[in-house]
Amino acid sequence: MNIRKELEVISRTGKVALGFRQSYLSLLNGKSKLVLLAKNCPSNVEKRIYMASRMVGVPMIKTELSSNEIGYIVGKPFRVSTLSVLDPGSSNILEEVAPEVE
């Protein structure tokens, strides 16, 4: 699976929440379907997102992309270490990552 390509599709056709606070809130509110973490995500952020995603049963992926790369892919001029997929749009990332979710 090409995370980079799927992220481009999601950013064009779907809906995402960027950053720790927005991702964390979307997890706790039940809006998140998948959480992606950058490879250089701070460990304290990673632990909190991991705990929240396990608590609500949402899959979490630690990507091989840096926070700079993720920010660039989704068209933002800043680093994005945590990204929550609210609506995958035309992407089939949910079927590839967690077929039991759908």
80-96 pLDDT tens trace: 999 999 999 888 888 87
Q: Give the span between the Cα atoms of 90 and 61, in whole angstroms.
A: 19
User: Tokens standing for 89?
Assistant: 């749009």
Round to whole Å and give the CA distance between 35 and 37. 7
> Does the pTM exceed 0.85?
yes
Report how far Cα 29 is from the mean position of its chain's Cα atoms.
15
- State the pLDDT confidence band at 101, using cuts at 50, 70 and 90: very low
Q: Express each pLDDT in 4-61 by its tens digit.
A: 998 999 999 999 999 999 999 999 999 999 999 999 999 999 999 999 999 999 999 9
| CATH class, 3-86 region | alpha beta
Pairing of strands 34-37, 82-87: antiparallel
Residues 6+ apart with CB under 8 A from 61: 3, 34, 35, 36, 37, 97
> With contact defined as beta carbons under 8 Å apart, do 96 and 7 qualify?
no
Phi, psi of 35, rounded to the nearest 5 degrees: -120, 135
Map out the domains of the chain as residue ranges: 3-86
**Does residue 102 have a pLDDT over 50?**
no
What pLDDT does residue 98 have?
61
Give 69's DSSP letter: H
